[in-house]
Amino acid sequence: MREDRDLEQEVLAKKVIIHSDNDAPLKLGANDAVCSMDVAYTEDCAFVSCDIINGKTGEWVNTFVTIHELPTTPYESGYFAYYEGPLLVACLEYLNKQIKLKPSLVIVDGHGLAHPRKFGIACWLGLQIDTPTIGCAKKPLVPYLDNLGGAKGSLSPMLLDDEVVGVALRSNKNVKPIFISPGHLISLDSTIYLIKKFHGEYRIFEPIRRADQAVRKASRGEEGDFELIS
C-alpha cells in the first residue's frame, strides 16, 4: 500500500503547478474569499471548519463548521492527504451549495511542496479543486537551514534535494517557527507574502487558529464565534 501511494504521489506531483517567483504574484481583491481550514474528530464524526477572510484586507468574514463521517483511511505520516483531504473537499463542496462559496485561495493546516515526495495535502487539495493553495504546518517534514534568526519575520529555506520547497518562518519573536510552502497555482514568494500579510499576533497563522478553535468547540458541543451547518 505504501509503495502504491508513493508512486501515486510522485505521479500526481508532476501535475502540480508552482509558479515562478518571476511570474505575476497572486492578487486578491475585496470580493475574493481566502479560506483557512482545519479538522477535529470525535468517536463518530469529523468536524471541518472553514475560516473566511477578505482577500484584500485580511478582515475576518465568518467561520463555518460542517459535520462529516469519519475518514475510512488510517492516518500515516506523509500520507495526510489521503486521510483528511476528502473531508476538506466535502466541506468546500457543501459550502458552495449552501452559500455559493468559491474561494480564491485555500490555506490548510499541513504541507504543500515541502513534503518528501513534493505532494503534501495542500498540493492534493489544489489539484482536486483547481484553486491556489498554501500549506502552513507546525512541524517540518523536510530539513531547513539552521540560520533562522530569532526576530519576527525571519526566514530559513526548506530544502529537498538542494531545491527550495518552502520556508521556516519565525512568525513572532523567539517562538518556534511555522513551516509554509506553496501547494498549487501559486509561487513561493506569493506564499510568503500572503502568510505574512494575514498572519496575526500569535505563533499560529491567525485564520487557521480560528478554524482550529471553531472545530474544537463544535466537537465538544460548545458555542463559539462560528456558524455550524449540518
DSSP notation for 171-202: -STTSPPEEEEEEESEEHHHHHHHHHHH--SS
Provide the pLDDT for residue 146: 80
Task: Give the span between the Cα atoms of 119 and 125, in whole angstroms.
Answer: 10
Query: Helix (H, G, I), strand (E, B), or coil: what is residue 26?
Result: coil
The pLDDT confidence band at residue 215, using thresholds 50, 70 and 90, is very high
Provide the pLDDT for residue 1: 63
Can you give the pTM of this predicted structure?
0.96
Provide the pLDDT for residue 73: 87
Say whether pLDDT at 37 is over 90.
yes
- Span 168-174, average pLDDT: 93
Please answer whether residues 180 and 156 qualify as being in contact, where contact means their C-beta atoms are separated by less than 8 angstroms. no
Domains of the chain: 2-229 (3.30.2170.10)
